[in-house]
């Protein structure tokens, strides 16, 4: 059994019958307010190893929502019985899980006592169940697909949120739910489209047109029956697919009633490096970048790319139109040197300073110097220079400190709205970089302390996790595949072809040599169309995937990409236009500066450690949510609009609910839910009802969830 964001196993010694009798049967000697049981804010995820339950677990994990996972394929897993699911605490009936996620509507053997226990638990405490991916059949509230429905690929399908979904758990979406179709030769999405079974209390939340008919079939819907509620999902997915990422928030909202630990946002931040400096241009003849240490051809002459004042005006206008702010990481020496070479004039710096309040600014060091080991460039690739005793020759503490301090002074003199504790070093240097430099420059941490730096950018492709460097915490950044040495689309395509085509096609063969991390193009891109038709859509898709994954890490490009052809904007517009087409106005992109992103990541790490350490107690009794934990810990929580904390509105409004981080001050955090969110009282007490067994026929090609059939049992009605 694997536990993620979990604590210790939950067990008691009571038998199923004894526990149910103790919890729900009339005449129990219990408190007068037993009609309002305690429901712990934790989700039970039962998995068979399939991608759908893994995707839901990943969503809970990213948001910081505690859950316990039971792997049905493991012989040493706990048995799910009444004692595992519920008990009493301080004389009050307790449901240990606020929701149940199953691989399908019934993943257990025929007449399983575990499914019986789950069904009775759900009735008793009004606990919802998510069927992560199930076959459309009457047991799940849907007609068999052969009766006017559809079974098959839904690649490229445009699904829609229904009116019930818009007014319910998926109200943060604008309506459209496009299914990915990334390859004509690979099946990416399989689904069962069907209509509600005769007499079923079934409400579709997301549906799509049934091919060859005028009807629409459910992909996600709620089935109410036998005192239970199930969210029935009839398409297969994984955690990375856009269709799941769009619906994940609503699945969690439905299963928790909008009340749960954890919080999520859709983040997008873009850092523009090397502002005021110039970036050396890719040479399409030499297939290298003159000015770089690995471009050793004697004919290599640097050809700089540098923004103009007109590019600044374009950036300002673009931001105003988009309602989005770029973070400019600047190198002041670029302007100082330019003025020396141009009789004191630098129209670019003048315009940037005049519009300084339109942007956020980050110290990127004075000259963009490499701040790790001293580089020996007599070999390709470069290596660290060494002292006579063979030890590494490091850039000094004073040199590192000067790069930080001189740049800050220039920015302060220019009146830039800086956050003095943020830093992006040139090429993320000073931090370890493999294979040449296996450790941080030991002088980096002390130099950061000398200058009060507490947030230091790192390269997510090298180090995806946060770590401490002296007094600073790293903030991993996503490199966008819009190259620093390209100001024109044709240059970008030429270098892209060099990297991503085989030697036989005229490329470098890098993709051939690194198949685990790089995929070769089937053919070189057309220089005239390759950027718009291939690179832009791909980069848009990658970045939008980060935005939809509750991932606050910033992306970074370079000032060269805002100059000349301004090749960054089609990618950025693609991300924002794509987002706007999918989400309602109540779910805007969250655009944070670097230190706020670092704080978010650090709070998540502290929260995860507290939950995994069993330090958090959180539960709901009627309309009151109580959260207990270590004093000073920041707690993420989500609750419906109208939720109050100490008489004031809790959190911030986002995606139709209230959510945010709140520090525990030593006493328990108490939230008062609005009356509309308070469940009806009562603990049930009916005897366990029979649970339908899965159809016994095998599932073809793993398209159908294990244990159900892709055929209509004999005698089934139409």
Q: Three-state SS string across 354-365, please?
A: HCHHHCEEEECC
Residue 687 reports pLDDT greater than 70: no
Topology (CATH level 3) of domain 16-263+682-702: Rossmann fold (3.40.50)
The encoded tokens of residue 172 equal: 């943060």
Q: By the 8 A CB rule, do 443 and 396 touch?
A: yes
Q: By the 8 A CB rule, do 195 and 148 touch?
A: yes
Pairing between β-strand 418-423 and β-strand 360-363 as defined by DSSP bridges? parallel
Residue 322 reports pLDDT greater than 90: yes
Fold equal for 16-263+682-702 and 270-485+545-582: no
In angstroms, the CA 594 to CA 158 distance is: 36
Q: By the 8 A CB rule, do 206 and 247 touch?
A: yes
Instruction: State the angle between helix axes of 51-63 and 242-256 in degrees (0 to 180), rounded to the nearest 10.
Output: 70
Percent of the chain with pLDDT over 90: 85
Q: What is the pLDDT of residues 365-424, one digit of tens each?
A: 999 999 999 999 889 889 999 999 999 999 999 999 999 999 999 999 999 999 999 999
User: If we measure between CA atoms, which residue out of 121, 144, 149 comes closest to residue 134?
Assistant: 144
Q: Which of 28-32, 274-278, 311-315, 585-589 shows the lowest per-residue confidence on average (mean pLDDT)?
A: 28-32
Q: What is the pLDDT of residues 191-206, one digit of tens each?
A: 999 999 999 999 999 9
The encoded tokens of residue 655 equal: 């995606």
Q: Which residues fall within 8 angstroms of residue 545, CB to CB, at 6 or more apart?
A: 240, 242, 245
As a whole number, the mean pLDDT across the chain is: 91
Cis? peptide before 232, omega within 30° of 0: no
In angstroms, the CA 591 to CA 602 distance is: 17
User: If we measure between CA atoms, which residue out of 213, 198, 196 comes closest to residue 150?
Assistant: 213
Residue 459 reports pLDDT greater than 90: yes
Domain range list for the chain: 16-263+682-702, 270-485+545-582, 594-677
Q: By the 8 A CB rule, do 246 and 180 touch?
A: no
Q: By the 8 A CB rule, do 170 and 247 touch?
A: yes
User: If we measure between CA atoms, which residue out of 548, 557, 594, 679 comes closest to residue 239?
Assistant: 548
Q: By the 8 A CB rule, do 577 and 569 touch?
A: no
Q: Mean of the pLDDT values across residues 540-551?
A: 98
- E strands in 226-363: 228-233, 260-261, 270-275, 279-280, 304-305, 327-330, 360-363
Q: Mean of the pLDDT values across residues 692-707?
A: 38
Provide the pLDDT for residue 524: 97
- Give Cα separations from 251 to 169, 177, 476, 484, 592 (angstroms): 7, 14, 29, 40, 26
Q: What is the pLDDT of residues 621-679, one digit of tens each?
A: 999 999 999 999 999 999 999 999 999 999 999 999 999 999 998 778 999 999 887 77
Q: Mean of the pLDDT values across residues 344-365?
A: 98
In angstroms, the CA 233 to CA 130 distance is: 8
The encoded tokens of residue 591 equal: 């655009």
132 Ramachandran zone, left/alpha/beta (phi>0; psi -120 to 50): alpha
In angstroms, the CA 129 to CA 105 distance is: 8
How many other C-beta atoms lie within 10 A of the C-beta of residue 174?
15
In angstroms, the CA 638 to CA 652 distance is: 9
Buried b (16+ CB within 10 A) or exposed e, 611-643: beeeebebbbeebebebebeeebbbbbbbbbeb
Topology (CATH level 3) of domain 270-485+545-582: TIM Barrel (3.20.20)
pTM of the complete model: 0.90
Residue with tokens 């236009």: 577
């Amino acid at each position: 059994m694997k536990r993620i964001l979990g604590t210790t196993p939950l067990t008691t010694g009571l038998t199923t019958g004894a526990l149910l009798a103790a919890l729900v049967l009339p005449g129990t000697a219990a408190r007068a307010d037993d009609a309002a049981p305690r429901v712990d804010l934790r989700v039970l995820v039962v998995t068979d190893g399939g991608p759908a339950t893994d995707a839901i677990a990943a969503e809970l994990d990213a948001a910081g929502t505690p859950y316990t996972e039971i792997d049905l394929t493991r012989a040493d897993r706990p048995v799910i019985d009444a004692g595992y699911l519920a008990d009493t605490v301080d004389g009050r009936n307790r449901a240990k899980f606020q929701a149940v996620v199953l691989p399908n509507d019934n993943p257990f053997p025929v007449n399983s006592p575990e499914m019986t226990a789950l069904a009775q638990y759900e009735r008793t405490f009004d606990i919802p169940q998510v069927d992560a991916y199930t076959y459309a059949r009457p047991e799940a509230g849907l007609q068999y697909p052969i009766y006017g429905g559809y079974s098959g690929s839904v690649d490229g399908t445009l699904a829609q949120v229904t009116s019930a979904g818009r007014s319910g758990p998926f109200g943060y979406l604008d309506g459209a739910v496009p299914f990915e179709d990334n390859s004509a030769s690979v099946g990416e999405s399989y689904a069962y489209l069907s209509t509600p079974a005769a007499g079923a209390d079934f409400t579709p939340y997301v549906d799509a047109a049934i091919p060859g008919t005028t009807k629409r079939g459910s992909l996600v819907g709620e089935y109410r029956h036998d005192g239970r509620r199930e969210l029935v999902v009839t398409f297969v997915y994984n955690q990375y697919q856009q269709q799941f990422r769009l619906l994940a928030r609503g699945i969690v909202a439905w299963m928790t009633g909008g009340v749960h630990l954890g919080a999520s946002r859709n983040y997008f931040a873009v850092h523009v490096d090397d502002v005021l400096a110039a970036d050396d241009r890719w040479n399409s003849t030499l297939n290298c970048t003159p000015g770089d240490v690995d471009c050793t051809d004697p004919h290599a002459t640097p050809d700089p790319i540098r923004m103009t004042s007109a590019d600044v005006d374009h950036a300002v206008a673009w931001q105003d139109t988009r309602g989005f702010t770029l973070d400019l990481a600047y190198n002041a020496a670029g302007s100082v040197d330019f003025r020396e070479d141009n009789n004191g004039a630098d129209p670019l710096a003048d315009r940037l300073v005049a519009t300084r309040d339109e942007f956020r600014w980050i110290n990127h060091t004075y000259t963009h110097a490499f701040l790790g080991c001293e580089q020996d460039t007599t070999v390709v690739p470069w290596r660290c220079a060494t002292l006579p005793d063979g030890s590494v020759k490091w850039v000094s503490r004073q040199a590192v400190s000067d790069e930080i301090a001189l740049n800050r002074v220039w920015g302060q003199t220019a009146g830039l709205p800086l956050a003095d504790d943020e830093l992006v070093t040139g090429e993320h240097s000073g931090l370890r970089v493999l294979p040449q430099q296996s450790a941080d420059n030991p002088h980096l941490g002390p130099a950061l302390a000398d200058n009060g730096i507490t947030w230091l950018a790192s390269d997510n492709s090298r180090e995806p996790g946060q770590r401490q460097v002296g007094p600073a915490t790293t903030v991993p950044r996503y490199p966008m595949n819009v190259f620093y040495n390209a100001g024109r689309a044709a240059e970008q395509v030429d270098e892209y072809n060099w990297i991503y085509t085989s030697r036989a096609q005229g490329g470098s063969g890098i993709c051939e040599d690194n198949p685990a991390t790089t995929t070769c193009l089937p053919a070189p891109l057309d220089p005239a169309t390759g950027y718009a038709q291939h690179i832009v859509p791909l980069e848009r898709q990658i970045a939008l995937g980060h935005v939809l994954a509750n991932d606050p890490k910033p992306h970074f490009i370079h000032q060269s990409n805002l100059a000349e052809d301004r090749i960054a904007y089609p990618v950025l517009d693609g991300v924002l236009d794509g987002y706007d087409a999918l989400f309602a106005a109540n779910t805007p992109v969250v655009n944070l500066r670097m230190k706020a992103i670092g704080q978010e990541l650090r709070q998540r790490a502290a929260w995860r450690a507290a939950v995994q350490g069993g330090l958090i107690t959180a539960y709901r009794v009627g309309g009151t949510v109580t959260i207990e934990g270590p004093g000073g810990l920041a707690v993420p929580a989500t609750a419906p609009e109208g939720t109050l904390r100490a008489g004031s509105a809790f959190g911030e409004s986002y995606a139709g609910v209230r959510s945010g981080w709140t520090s525990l001050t030593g006493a328990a955090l108490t939230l008062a839910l609005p009356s509309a969110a308070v469940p009806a009282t009562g603990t049930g007490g009916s005897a366990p009802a029979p649970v339908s067994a899965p159809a016994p026929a095998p599932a073809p090609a793993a398209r159908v969830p294990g244990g159900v059939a892709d055929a209509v049992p004999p005698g089934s009605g139409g």
